[in-house]
Amino acid sequence: MSKTKVIAFANNKGGSGKTTTCSNVGCAMAMLGKKVLMIDGDMQLNLTISFFDEEKAYEFAKGETNIYRAIKDERDLSDYIVETSIKGLDIIPSTSLMSSIEFDLFAKWQRESVLKKCLERVRAKGYYDYILIDSPPTLGGWVMNVMCASDYVVVPVEASPWGLFGLANMFDFCNQAKSMAPNLEVLGIAVTKADERKKYFKQTMETLQEMEGARLFENYIRVDSTVEWAQDNSQPVVAFKKNSRSAKEYMELTKEIMKYANR
């Protein structure tokens, strides 16, 4: 069996911290000496621009090197990988054409497993320790592909009232995915943009702790503008400001994720 673990970052709630978490966890894993491939599965290109300036991101998007091309033509993903400036960290970029992926998938044979099949050879080579997939804020056929290609799902949740609203739909969707991918496991909930000064934060954590069937990661990420400054510089905060509070929080969360994903 391949040693490569595939982890999806998914939540249908927009702005819950999926991309920020995916980029920082991927970068932290690479900084810890792991070989990591990230896949930008969202038409917003946010994961791609976490590592490249806009000009370079548009070059990938307009050219052939992006996830849309690979899925549409059902190609081996090995040919769509580009290196980032971080040692050990590679990415398959996205494109705004991902807006029509649902339409393209519709006519395909075994349409929930297209990504899984395209990823088969990359997994079989066993070069990567982890493959991380960033998802769009939807629960359709494409995110079902992401689930079916993954071993684990990490669900980033914003510590706010609306951050929790709709979470049940997300877990129902994971259960549906399990009927097609029985080994899929919800690895845990990662709380992001936490503000400990707010009374509501404590209540959020209590609600999440009491939720059955999903682990709440002990390490959470507090709200911090350093995260945004890092993004403005096309870098995850763990690389941009290694000694910042956010970088340390992401490093700890990454170690926790790796601990559970390697059991």
Q: Which residues bind ligand ATP (CB under 6 A)?
A: 14-20, 42, 44, 46, 137, 192-193, 221, 223-224, 227-228, 231, 246
Residue 160 interacts with, from ligand ATP, Mg ion, none (CB under 5-8 Å by kind): none
- x/- mask, Mg ion, residues 21-60, rule CB under 5 A, reads -------------------------x--------------
Q: Which residue is nearest to Mg ion (CB)?
A: 19
Nearer to ligand ATP, 46 or 95 (CB): 46
Using CB under 5 A, which residues numbered 72 to 111 contact Mg ion? none
What's the min distance (Å) between Cβ of 192 and ligand ATP? 5
Residue 4 interacts with, from Mg ion, ligand ATP, none (CB under 5-8 Å by kind): none
* Residues ≥6 apart with Cβ < 8 Å to 200: 159, 160, 161
Decide if residue 193 touches Mg ion (CB under 5 A): no
Using CB under 5 A, which residues numbered 2 to 21 contact Mg ion? 18-19
Residue 193 interacts with, from Mg ion, ligand ATP, none (CB under 5-8 Å by kind): ligand ATP
Residue 16 interacts with, from ligand ATP, Mg ion, none (CB under 5-8 Å by kind): ligand ATP
Nearer to Mg ion, 129 or 159 (CB): 159
Helices (H) and strands (E) in the chain, counts: 12, 7
What's the min distance (Å) between Cβ of 230 and ligand ATP? 9
Nearer to ligand ATP, 22 or 122 (CB): 22
Chain-centre distance of CA 31, in angstroms? 17
In this structure, what token pair is assigned to residue 221? 């990420």
Residue 140 interacts with, from Mg ion, ligand ATP, none (CB under 5-8 Å by kind): none
Give me the amino acid identity at 198: K
What distances in angstroms separate CA 72 from CA 95, 111, 125, 147, one per listed residue? 12, 11, 23, 18
Classify residue 71 by burial, with Cβ atoms within 10 Å: 0-12, 13-18, 19+: buried
Tell me how far apart the alpha carbons of residues 194 and 217 are, in angstroms, rounded to a whole number.
13
* Residues ≥6 apart with Cβ < 8 Å to 209: 216
Among 167, 195, 254, smallest CA distance to 219 is for 254
Residue 29 interacts with, from ligand ATP, Mg ion, none (CB under 5-8 Å by kind): none
Among 6, 5, 18, 231, smallest CA distance to 136 is for 18
Give me the amino acid identity at 144: M
Is residue 61 within 8 Å of 96, Cβ to Cβ?
A: yes
What's the min distance (Å) between Cβ of 19 and Mg ion? 3
Which residues would be at the binding site for Mg ion (CB under 5 A)?
A: 18-19, 46
